[in-house]
């Protein structure tokens, strides 16, 4: 792994960095393909929203872009992760104006099984809940113990992802993804106003639905609604969209993954149509 810390090629930070002390910061996971950062404007928007919420000074966009470019020039498809912490501080929660720590790192492209997309995945249902915390909802902050514990609940490759419910049993998200369901040609996705991460692909799907007149509702989603769905899929920046074929004993139809130019509306699989839209 290569990384830049505040613009300098390095991989060590101070133990006094508040990212390490308190998880006091934000991150973004980007796909960079032959020099092109996918969905940059949405990642940047979320990072800025996080800075505002946590009172962390926003980095200069051009600086960040040049650092990403520096690390990823000449490579194919890789992952770039940005971590922005509040910086090095004293003991104790209080902080004054500080210089943030900016880490940009390069990671190999993860090779997922092709069948995750082609045949769909099976979802695990996690016991670890997502806590309702309006002060942190939506942003991609570094306090990720919930996701770590939820992801640790299953160890087999049978499940490609696990879904997490809030403390009242509403379906919120996957450990590393957002979730949508299709019912009667209508798209539904959990309301994330009190917990969960506003995913970049989730946002693109919402935008796509608006521009293409696809009916979509952001609402409370129960396990019963999932049970009853026609299609279910998950999404994130790295995987794009994966159809879900099974949750517990419930199975969902997964339309064939056609070549993009062969997908048309008559295929009646909203999941595949959205994949087509996303990839265009």
Told to judge if 132 belongs to the known catalytic residues of this protein, a careful annotator would answer no
- 17 interacts with its own copies by CB under 8 A: yes
Residues present in the chain in total: 280
Rounded distance between C-alpha atoms, residue 136 and residue 233, angstroms: 25
| Alpha carbon distance 235, 243 (integer Å) | 9
Q: Is 173 a catalytic residue?
A: yes
Residue 54 near its own copies by CB under 8 A:
yes
Nearer to its own copies among residue 89 and residue 277 (C-beta)? 89
What residues have CB less than 8 Å from 217, skipping those under 6 apart? Answer: 186, 187, 188, 189
91 binds its own copies (CB under 8 A): yes
CA 142, 144, 145, 151: dihedral to nearest 10 degrees?
-150
Short-list 140, 147, 151, 179, CA closest to 28: 140
Q: For residue 233, what are the CA distances in angstroms to 5, 165, 206, 273?
A: 36, 16, 14, 12
Contact assessment for residue 74 and residue 60, using Cβ atoms and an 8 Å cutoff: no
In the complex with its own copies, the residue whose CB is nearer, 55 or 217, is 55
Look up 186 and say whether it is catalytic. no
Binding residue (CB under 8 A) for its own copies from 51, 165, 171, 176? 176
Contact 108, 2 (CB under 8 A): no
Footprint of its own copies on 140-159 (CB under 8 A): 141-152
Our finding on whether 8 is near its own copies (CB under 8 A) is: no
Q: How far apart are CA 254 and CA 232, in angstroms?
A: 9
What part of residues 182-201 is at the interface with its own copies (CB under 8 A)? 194-195
- Least Cβ distance, residue 269 to its own copies (angstroms): 29
The catalytic position among 28, 122, 128, 140 is 140
Is the CB of 132 or the CB of 183 nearer to its own copies?
A: 132
Measured CA to CA in angstroms, residue 72 lies from 44, 145, 147, 250 at distances of 17, 29, 28, 42
Q: 85 or 275: whose CB is closer to its own copies?
A: 85
Q: Which of 173, 175, 231, 276 is catalytic?
A: 173
**2 or 210: whose CB is closer to its own copies?**
2
Q: Which is nearer to its own copies, 19 or 190 (CB)?
A: 19
Q: Taking the complex as a whole, how short is the minimal distance between the CB of residue 55 and its own copies, in angstroms? A: 6
Contact flag: residue 64 with its own copies (CB under 8 A) = no
Contact status: 102 vs its own copies (CB under 8 A): no
Q: How far is the CB of 15 from its own copies (least distance, A)?
A: 5
Element (H, E) at 64: helix 61-72
If DSSP codes are grouped into helix, strand and coil, which group holds residue 96? coil
List beta partners, residue 244. 121, 232
Active centre residues (catalytic): 29, 140, 173
Q: Which residues bind its own copies (CB under 8 A)?
A: 1, 3, 5, 11-24, 27, 29, 54-55, 79, 81, 83, 85-86, 91-95, 103, 105, 107, 110, 128-129, 131-136, 141-152, 167, 175-176, 194-195
């Amino acid at each position: 792994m290569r990384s830049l810390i505040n613009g300098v090629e390095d991989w060590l930070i101070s133990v006094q960095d508040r990212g390490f002390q308190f998880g006091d910061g934000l991150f973004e996971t980007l796909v960079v393909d032959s020099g092109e950062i996918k969905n940059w404007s949405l990642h940047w928007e979320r990072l800025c929203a996080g800075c505002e919420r946590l009172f962390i000074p926003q980095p200069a966009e051009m600086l960040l872009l040049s650092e990403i470019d520096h690390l990823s020039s000449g490579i194919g498809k890789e992952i770039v992760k940005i971590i922005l912490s509040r910086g090095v501080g004293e003991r104790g929660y209080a902080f004054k104006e500080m210089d943030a720590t900016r880490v940009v790192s390069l990671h190999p492209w993860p090779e997922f099984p092709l069948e995750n997309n082609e045949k769909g995945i099976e979802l695990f249902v996690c016991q670890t809940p997502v806590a309702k915390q309006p002060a942190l909802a939506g942003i991609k902050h570094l306090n990720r113990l919930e996701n770590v514990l939820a992801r640790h609940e299953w160890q087999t490759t049978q499940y490609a992802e696990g879904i997490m419910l809030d403390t009242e049993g509403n379906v919120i998200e996957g450990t590393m993804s957002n979730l949508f369901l299709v019912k009667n040609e209508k798209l539904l996705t959990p309301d994330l106003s009190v917990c969960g991460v506003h995913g970049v692909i989730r946002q693109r799907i919402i935008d796509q639905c608006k521009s293409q007149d696809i009916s979509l509702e952001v609402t409370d989603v129960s396990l019963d609604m999932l049970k009853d769905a026609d299609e279910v899929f998950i999404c994130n920046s790295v995987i794009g969209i994966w159809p879900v074929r099974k949750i517990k004993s419930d199975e969902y139809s997964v339309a064939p993954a056609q070549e993009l130019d062969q997908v048309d509306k008559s295929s009646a699989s909203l999941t595949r149509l959205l994949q087509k839209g996303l990839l265009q």
